[in-house]
Amino acid sequence: MEPHGERPHVPGPSLWPIGFAVGIACVLVGLVVSWPVAAVGAAIALIFGFLWIREVTGDYRGEPREVAGAAAAPPPVVVEEQELSTYSRNKFLELSTLGLGGLITGIVTVPILGFAVLPAFSNQELDDVDLGPLENFPEGKWMETTYLSNPAEGEVSRRTAYIRNNGNIPDRPNVPSFTIISNRCVHLGCPVQASGPRAKQEKKVKTDAGEMLITEVTPAAFSCPCHGGAYDTEGNRTAGPPVRALDRYAYSINGDRLVLLPAYSVAWVKGEGPSALIKRYGHTGPGIHVDGVEAWLYPIQPTDVAS
């Protein structure tokens, strides 16, 4: 019977796989929440993965295996140089299979993750869209405007914006001001409608971006028929589940033509028309808070206040 004092100790569990798993979890969460979180997770995974591999391969490199929480290992047994140079065929096949499997998994998984995740972080709209002459947008009236954001993709890229000509900017009498609101509800992205009278006929306009449809509307407010989201005529949320004001489009005036620029997100609007004070952020998707405590759970967005 083997004496109790000479019974070999079973190595304690290693902490490196746990740290590696935590790092991978941070990477996956960071892909949805924030790039800095993903970067921290990747660093953790690399460090703990290196330590884990170093521990597992210690026996093959002639080093004693050290396990966190385990008792000190006995001094290594001195063997002949010829014995150290041998390498088991089974071990070679095992490691080769694992390496090849990991490579194939990476080749298959990385493209899938790229197609699934990257579109959420990219701007899928064109840089600018020519909306035609300024005369298409009479002063003081709302015009529901549908256009092709990407003519090469055809009707699938048709978007809608509500455009109001506010007249000239007070301190710049020769520069007209426009309010351009997206019809994409910031709850889940459903189409927002103008709550009010609508002209029976729509105007068709040919532009470089394809055929554009313009319809005069007289909204008392904007509303989403899907889940009850409601907004005032400046896009501020007034009721329902939306988390912020409606997105807006930047614009420029090229000669006598109105050019639509990329959209931006809005926390709130105070005032109206050319004198409105807008708290704006980088463009974010529906359902994402852009300010307040809730915004801490989402990617950091650049912010500025513009009038």
> Which pLDDT does position 184 carry in this prediction?
93
Mean pLDDT (the chain) is 78
Q: Which of 267, 275, 260, 276 is nearest to 294 (CA)?
A: 267
Q: List the domain boundaries for the chain.
A: 11-121, 129-306
Check whether 122 has a pLDDT greater than 60.
no
According to DSSP, residue 139 is labeled B
> Which pLDDT does position 256 carry in this prediction?
85
What residue type is 100 in one-letter code?
Answer: L
Beta strands in the chain (DSSP E): 129-133, 142-148, 158-169, 172-182, 193-195, 203-207, 210-217, 221-223, 230-231, 237-239, 245-254, 257-270, 277-281, 303-306
Q: How confident is the model at residue 20 (pLDDT cuts 50, 70, 90)?
A: confident
Whole-angstrom distance, CA of residue 162 vs CA of residue 171: 25
Share above pLDDT 90 across residues of the chain, in percent, rounded to a whole number: 22
Whole-angstrom distance, CA of residue 268 vs CA of residue 231: 11
DSSP string for residues in 169-229: ETTEEEEEEEEEEE-B-TTT-PBPEEES-B-SS-EEEEETTEEEEEEEE--SEEE-TTT--
What residue type is 294 in one-letter code?
Answer: E
pLDDT tens across 25-83, in order? Answer: 888 877 766 778 888 888 888 888 888 787 777 666 565 555 544 555 566 665 555 55
> Which pLDDT does position 54 carry in this prediction?
79
> Which pLDDT does position 111 carry in this prediction?
66
Check whether 4 has a pLDDT greater than 60.
no
> Which pLDDT does position 169 carry in this prediction?
76
Q: Which two tokens stand for residue 28?
A: 């996956």
pLDDT tens across 197-210, in order? Answer: 888 888 888 877 67
What residue type is 77 in one-letter code?
Answer: V
Q: How confident is the model at residue 302 (pLDDT cuts 50, 70, 90)?
A: very low
CATH superfamily of 129-306: Rieske [2Fe-2S] iron-sulphur domain (2.102.10.10)
Cβ pair 166, 205 in contact under 8 A: no
Hey, which of 19-33, 113-127, 160-174, 221-235 has the most confident mean pLDDT? 221-235
Q: Which two tokens stand for residue 162?
A: 């509500």
> Which pLDDT does position 179 carry in this prediction?
93
CB-side exposure of 284: number of CA atoms within 13 Å? 28
Q: Rounded to 5 degrees, what are φ and ψ at 5?
A: -70, -20
Q: Which two tokens stand for residue 62?
A: 């002639």
Whole-angstrom distance, CA of residue 226 vs CA of residue 59: 63
According to DSSP, residue 240 is labeled S
